[in-house]
Structures are given as C-alpha cells and as structure tokens.
C-alpha cells in the first residue's frame, strides 16, 4: 500500500485553479521529487498535504486515512513533517530550542507538571533536548546549538529546518526547495545527507526542487507539474527526455 496518495486533488482560489486534479502515489521509503516551473503549484500541493489548505475536491490519503481538510497540527501528529520554502524558523529561539519544539509532539509530561516544574517535566524536557542534540549532530549543526537561529547562515538555516522537521519523527518528510540558496558544495553535502536520513531513519521523502541536477541525482521517481496540472510522472531518465517536460521548461519549438 502506498504511504501517501493524492487522488484528483484540486484547489481553486477564486477563478484560479492552483492545483488541478493532481494524482500521485508515494511508496514507503521512496525519494520522490516534485518539480515544475515557477507557479506550477508545487508549494500549494505541499500546503494541501499538510493541511494548510483544504482541497476544493479530490482526496488525499496518508496510509489508509483520509487527511484532506484535517488541521495541520493533527497531520503533523500523524507523521508528516515539512520544511518551508521561505525559511520559517522560530527566529529568536536558539538552534537547539527550535529542534525541541519539533519534538513537542512526543512530550509526555502534563501541563500541570510543567507549571509545577515536577521532576517528570524536567526529565521529559531533558530527554527532548538530548534527542534534539542527537539530530543536530546528524545534520552537522551541533557546534551552533546555542546560537540564535536567526544568526545562522542561509545553508545552516535550511539544514536546521530539516532537523526541526525530523524531530517530529515523521514517516513522510516534505522538503520545500531544500537546496535553494546553497552553493554547489553545500548542495553536494545536502544530497548525501538526505540519502543518509532516508536510509538511517527509514523515512520517505517528498521534495520540491528547482536544481535539476540535484533532483535527478537524488530522486527515484519524479512528478512534474505545470500550471497546476500533472504533465509527467516517472523515473528521472524518463522525465529528462519527456517532450512535455522540456516544453514546459523551455517553451514549445516554433
């Protein structure tokens, strides 16, 4: 059974159909790419999956559960985590605290014990902090754990977004342009990092990316959107030579 299935997912904003009957299925453990020219509806697709928007019609299934229209925090608790295209860190919190918030879903102590600062709450917070520290090591951010997240370099902020999303211990990780603004070397590192995360944590990854070399070398299957419609689906080699995809990116031959 597929982990995530979009079935004719559609959303209209007034007269604009941002995502038009898009369907794809992601198998567990897959590295899946979502590409398309600017304005194709990729991020809107993410927003549909994560519950920011409710689809006008169509169906989104996570495992065997319908999730369209569920609130984002519920969807996060089911095991879908995401990063944001325009970085949305908790700016004035430290790097470590950002990741602890990601682990918030896994806290066990009650609000009452937090307010009373009972040992259970202290232990629980300590546990989340040490788990967060482990994740920072995986993403090579441990040395800046106490820095304010807004003070990090752009590439580090992107990695911190991934660490924060991973802290929710998701089954499906959505990465929205993770390599944007990175230099070639950083992209290379990120490529290895995403593969390692997938292998070590057994995650399924769905990513949006504009850098074709990055997507083609990383993803096992790709779906291409153009103007809200799905125009191609398949492994990278097929996508690269698909005339519809070339037309969408470069325009039709005259």
Partner 1 sequence: MNQFWLVRAGSFVLAFAFAFALDAAFGGGGYAQRLVMLAALWVTLAVSLNLINGITGQFSMGHAGFYAVGAYTAAILTTLNPALAEQNKLAWLLLMIPTGALVGAIAGFVVGVPSLRLRGDYLAIVTLGFGEIVRIVAQNINIKTPKGDVGGAYGFTLDVKLTAVWVAWMLAIAVIAICRNLLRTAHGLAFLAVREDEVAALAMGVNVTRTKVTAFVIGSAMAGAAGAILALFEGRASPDMFTMDQSFIVVTMVVLGGTGSITGSVLAALLLFYLPEKTRELSNMPISSVAGLFIGIGVAVSLARMIQQRYHGPVAQRIGLNFGAIGAGVVTMAVIGFVLQQVPAIAAQPLVAGAKLRMVVFAIVLIVLMLLRPQGVLGHHEFSWDWVRRTLFRKPAEVPA
Phi-psi bin for 114: left (phi > 0), alpha (psi -120 to 50), beta? alpha
Query: Is residue 234 within the footprint of partner 1 (CB under 8 A)?
Result: no
- Kindly indicate which of the ranges 11-19, 79-87, 214-222, 231-239 contains the residues binding partner 1, using the contact rule CB under 8 A: 79-87
Query: Can you tell me which of 22, 31, 67, 128 binds partner 1, judged by CB under 8 A?
Result: 128
C-beta neighbour count of 199 within 10 angstroms: 10
Please say which residue, 35 or 100, places its beta carbon nearer to partner 1: 100
- Smallest gap from residue 213 Cβ to partner 1 (A): 26
Query: Is residue 213 within the footprint of partner 1 (CB under 8 A)?
Result: no
Residues 6+ apart with CB under 8 A from 223: 22, 24, 32, 33, 34, 35, 230, 232, 233
Query: Is residue 137 within the footprint of partner 1 (CB under 8 A)?
Result: no
Query: Can you tell me which of 13, 65, 104, 217 binds partner 1, judged by CB under 8 A?
Result: 104
Query: Is residue 144 within the footprint of partner 1 (CB under 8 A)?
Result: yes
The phi, psi pair for 218, rounded to 5°, reads: -95, -45
Query: Can you tell me which of 89, 203, 225, 248 binds partner 1, judged by CB under 8 A?
Result: 89
Query: Is residue 157 within the footprint of partner 1 (CB under 8 A)?
Result: no
Residues 6+ apart with CB under 8 A from 19: 9, 10, 11, 41, 44, 45, 48, 55, 225, 228
C-beta neighbour count of 96 within 10 angstroms: 22
Residue numbers at the binding site for partner 1 (CB under 8 A): 50, 52, 71-73, 76-77, 81-82, 84, 88-93, 97, 100-105, 107, 109, 111, 114-119, 121-122, 124-125, 128, 143-144, 147, 151, 153, 164-165, 167-168
């Amino acid at each position: 059974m597929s982990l995530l299935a979009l079935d004719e997912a559609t959303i209209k904003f007034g007269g604009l159909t941002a995502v038009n009957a898009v369907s794809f299925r992601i198998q567990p453990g897959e590295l899946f790419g979502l590409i398309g020219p600017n304005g194709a509806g990729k991020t809107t697709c993410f927003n549909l999956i994560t519950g920011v928007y409710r689809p006008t019609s169509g169906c989104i299934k996570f495992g065997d559960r319908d999730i369209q229209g569920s609130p984002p925090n519920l969807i996060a608790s089911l095991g879908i985590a995401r990063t944001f295209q325009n970085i949305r860190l908790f700016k004035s919190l430290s790097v470590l605290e950002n990741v602890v918030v990601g682990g918030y879903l896994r806290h066990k102590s009650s609000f009452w014990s937090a307010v009373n600062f009972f040992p259970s709450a202290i232990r629980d917070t300590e546990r989340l902090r040490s788990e967060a520290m482990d994740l920072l090591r995986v993403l090579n951010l441990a040395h800046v754990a106490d820095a304010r997240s807004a003070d990090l370099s752009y590439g580090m902020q992107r990695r911190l977004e991934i660490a924060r999303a991973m802290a929710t211990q998701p089954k499906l990780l959505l990465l929205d342009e993770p390599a944007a603004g990175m230099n070639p070397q950083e992209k290379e590192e990120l490529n290895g990092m995403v593969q390692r995360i997938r292998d070590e944590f057994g995650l399924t990854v769905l990513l949006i990316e504009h850098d074709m070399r990055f997507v083609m070398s990383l993803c096992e299957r790709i779906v291409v959107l153009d103007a809200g419609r799905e125009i191609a689906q398949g492994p990278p080699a097929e996508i690269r030579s698909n005339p519809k995809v070339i037309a969408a990116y470069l325009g039709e031959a005259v």
